[in-house]
Amino acid sequence: MPITVGQDSNNTRRTLKSGGTSFAYYSIPAAEEAGLGDFSRLPSVLKVVLENMLRFEDGKTVSTDDIKAFADWAKMGGKNPREIAYRPARVLMQDFTGVPAVVDLAAMRDGIVALGGDAQKINPLNPVDLVIDHSVMIDEFGNPRAFQMNVDREYERNMERYQFLKWGQKAFDNFRVVPPGTGICHQVNLEYLAKTVWSDKDQNGEVVAYPDTLVGTDSHTTMVNGAAVLGWGVGGIEAEAAMLGQPISMLIPEVIGFKLTGAMPEGTTATDLVLKVVELLRAKGVVSKFVEFYGDGLDNVPLADRATIGNMAPEYGATCGFFPIDAETIRYLTQTGRDEATIELVEAYAKANGMWRDPGYEPVYTDTLELDMSTVVPAISGPKRPQDHIPLTKAASEFGAYVKGQRPDIHDKAEIRWEGEGGQPEPQDIPGDEGHHNRGYVRTDEHGYQMHDGSIVIASITSCTNTSNPYVMIGAGLVARKARELGLNRKPWVKTSLAPGSQVVSAYLEAANLQEDLDAIGFNLVGYGCTTCIGNSGPLEPEISKCINDADLIGVSVLSGNRNFEGRISPDVRANYLASPPLVVAYALVGDMNVDITTASLGKDKNGNDVYLKDIWPSQSEIAELVEATVTREAFQSKYADVFKGDEKWQAVETTDSETYNWPAQSTYVQNPPYFRDMAKEAGTISDIKDAKILAILGDMVTTDHISPAGSFKETTPAGQYLVERQVPVREFNSYGSRRGNHEVMMRGTFANIRIRNEMLDGVEGGYTLSPKGEQTSIFDAAMEYQEQGTPLVIFGGEQYGAGSSRDWAAKGTNLLGVKAVIAENFERIHRSNLVGMGVIPFEFTGGDTRKTLGLKGDETVSITGLEGDLKPLSQVPATITYGDGTVKEIMLKCRIDTEVEIEYVENGGVLHYVLRNLAVA
């Protein structure tokens, strides 16, 4: 489908030649010649957005004043929060967030037919790629059968979902599905889908070149910014609006410049660099801002390392972390098999339009910070936030302090509990114990061993963040090789796994003969997908799980991922640490977070000598030599030759061929959501919130994982009870993430994370609250009682409410529980947008008020006025809190409906209702 460009009333369209072909493009220098302003010192990332304004300028959604605002931004020192309408070139999805998005599109087809419209109007106008990567679980590990057995179970569990996605691929235009077992969406995007500069025919049939841009239904879409492709995560509802042709309303962002100098020292990795970057940028405060990396140090940062830094943008809170186009971009596009014509166009376009990074590149930024990379040290982050940076030399002592904080009342040796026959072993000394550790004992047919607080039960090389980077993956393989040669192996209680982000990783590990070494110490291939990073770590051995829970142990995971939030990785693991792939291997050999891995022996070699980390750690030259020899252009071209074809299992998936979806009544995976049922043709108005009750009072850094968990759940939960009532055995529960196409499961899973804490209850973890009668019950059951009474609900929160994944169900579930407003100290960008997109109004405290200063207990009644009539973006409105004892207090709240179009969204009941009504009458 051709792109539709604007009217170009400012005459900025020019022509460039590349590879013997002529391309039209929208020229920033031409805009300067036309007197629209001086754009020469704009950051490269803003030039991408400016080009978007030039290309879509039509005098309505994009005006000449919008273009001039970018010149004003530079004059004003990097600030000019003008509202603009931005149109990304394409949309990227994964299956956890993609299934509910396709469910919404299918429901919108039903909805538009009910309004008397044409179902074919519900079709993506922009290209959409959905990569199935979130569904594979690690049921089998540590043996050669693991990959095939996990794939087989994946298809058994998810056939309904895959049939539905295949229907979507047939039913919708501009929609492609990358089958299971191919790779992680962000790595597939980086290695294959992304072009850096795109070209397509416009409505007049002329070929136009323009920057490759996208939004994705996963927060780590930002990874592709490492290749100078501007992309960021949005919720599924916002992505659906974008694919249906709705521009993204946004404010011209502030841009923080992050200057990199020097080079990484021997013994460090890209993971160490990015964990330091996350710490620094979180401290800086970059929420809702763009970050652009610059400085001569970029000459020493390979694109794979840049992608690692870009990937972690949600962890440092930014909208994106962008790297300009330079010679390294061209080298990477060449290495990964892009065609010569695309590579030539990227360089020609970037130089013609002022987007090429030359030496001395130093544009205007809103603010800057700097890092000398020679000061970076090996590190991990944890135990529950990515920004909690810990130098490796302090990892053991910091863990000890964490345990002490978790167990302030334990002083002497705890009782040792064990499974199996026989007597109790003597307690073993634990480094830095100080009497703050619990212990347990496990006996299986093969092993008998003590476990204690700090036992590492999961060591997983996982996630696009690091498996996209051959330097750290080859490094991990070399650590395994050296350990194997010396006779070391993983500890028997450690569940080890290797889940690369693409098949190319397997190609170069095999070419370097490193997969054999990884296999030897338990890091067998378990699948190509997100696995542990998304919470699909699979079950631990029953004896280990029982020991952890019986003895109330603080189990530990070490993973090469990007997220380590509470309750995310495994229900049996309380402390989670992010680390580089080589360190993941090293920690599997030790099996204990109490051990100072930098100084202690990792074990004995074949001759009984101690082996230390320095003995198995590869040099940078060793790694670089193997990367050069095995990471080839041919490998990328071969593995991506049939990327949409899939294996025999995918090809055998059968589905219906129909314009609207025939919703299967008995399905527990896919159900027609209630959003558009009985929808009126006309939009409503925003109403004041009267006499609302409080559903939950939550603390700081409540993530979207807390609000809408992705992982497994038990039969005792409301979601589990729903499935049991429908004769689904516990073994087939799968995960919340896999059931996001069923609103009944997801409503019951909202605010159901096992680690969430509702401050209305004392010391209770999990999704509980007080019922209308004041009794403890599940949040879902209480919400349903309030709905039956017609009582509106509000949620109170602290700082950084909604951090983490771009999880639209965190907003959808909030809406379906009957919550009309969320009141917090501040919001993370994506979740605020998602709440508005579902018609739930976000409010921020003003004047120093917080949930704590107000002394909220949960028995209060809340009314918010000033919403009816002519509500303006970012208005301050009064709220009245009536306490349980009858005391009344009035406060002012800032309404975080940020733009005029967002007001229309809320008036319509949400962005999809807004789009549907417009399409129905078009």
Q: Is 885 helix (H, G, I), strand (E, B) or coil?
A: coil
Q: Encode pLDDT of 527-537 as tens digits.
A: 787 776 666 67
pLDDT 10s digits, 256-285: 999 999 999 999 999 999 999 999 999 999
- Partnered with residue 15 across adjacent β-strands are 24
Q: Is the dihedral of CA 140, 146, 151, 153 positive or negative?
A: negative
Q: Starting at the edge strand that comes first in sequence, how are the strands of the sheet with 448-452 ordered?
A: 416-418, 439-443, 448-452
pLDDT recorded at residue 429: 60
Q: How confident is the model at residue 166 (pLDDT cuts 50, 70, 90)?
A: very high
Q: Please tell me the distance from the alpha carbon of residue 207 to that of residue 200, in angstroms, as a whole number.
A: 5
Answer yes or no: are the C-beta atoms of 305 and 298 closer than 8 Å: no
Between CA 834 and CA 822 the distance in angstroms is 12
Give the pLDDT of residue 133: 80
pLDDT for 407 = 77
Position 515 pLDDT exceeds 50? yes
Residue 87, pLDDT > 80, answer yes
Average pLDDT over residues 896-900: 91
Q: Are 799 and 825 in contact (CB under 8 A)?
A: yes
Query: Which structure tokens are listed for 471?
Result: 């330097």
Whether 514 and 618 have beta carbons less than 8 Å apart is answered as no
List the chain domain ranges.
379-618, 689-704+792-921, 709-749
Q: Please name the residue ranges forming H helices in 668-823.
A: 704-707, 718-725, 743-749, 779-789, 808-816
The mean per-residue pLDDT over the stretch 771-788 comes to 97
Q: Return the minimum-mean-pLDDT range out of 207-221, 413-427, 691-705.
A: 413-427
Quote the crossing angle between the two packed helices 470-486 and 620-630, to the nearest 10°.
Answer: 110
One of 3.40.50.1100, 3.30.160.250, 3.30.499.10, 3.40.50.300 is the CATH number of 379-618, namely: 3.30.499.10
383: cis peptide before it, omega within 30°? yes
Tell me what percent of the residues of the chain surpass a pLDDT of 70: 96
Given pLDDT bands bounded at 50, 70 and 90, which one contains residue 421?
Answer: very low
CA distance 553 to 410: 13
CB 245 within 8 A of CB 236: no
Contact of 90 with 129, CB cutoff 8 Å? yes
pLDDT at residue number 718: 97
Is the pLDDT score of 765 beyond 80? yes
**End-to-end alpha-carbon separation of the chain, Å?**
19
Q: What is the pLDDT of residue 795?
A: 98
Cβ proximity of 468 and 223 under 8 Å: yes
738 vs 447 pLDDT, higher one: 738
Q: What is the mean pLDDT of residues 748-776?
A: 95
In the structure, what pLDDT confidence band is assigned to residue 467 with cuts at 50, 70 and 90?
Answer: confident
Render pLDDT for 540-579 as a digit per residue (tens, 0 to 9).
888 999 999 998 999 999 998 877 777 788 889 999 999 9
Q: Please, what is the average pLDDT of the chain?
A: 91
Q: Mind listing the pLDDT tens digit for each residue in 96-123?
A: 888 888 999 999 999 999 998 999 999 9
Q: Is the pLDDT of residue 411 over 50?
A: no
pLDDT band at 1 (very low <50, low <70, confident <90, very high): low
**750-759 residue pLDDT tens:** 999 988 999 9
Specify the CATH class of 689-704+792-921 in words.
Answer: alpha beta
C-alpha 28/C-alpha 52 separation (Å) is 11
Q: Tell me the three state secondary structure of residue 652.
A: coil
Which regions of 669-775 does DSSP assign to beta strands (E)? 689-697, 768-770
Show Cβ contacts of residue 825 under 8 Å, excluding neighbours closer than 6 positions.
700, 797, 798, 799, 801, 844, 845, 850
Q: Please state, as a whole number, how many other Cβ atoms lie within 10 Å of the Cβ of residue 76.
A: 13
d(CA 893, CA 883): 18
Rounded distance, CA 466 to CA 332, Å? 16
How far is it, in rounded angstroms, from Cα 570 to Cα 575?
10
What is the model's pLDDT at position 435? 58
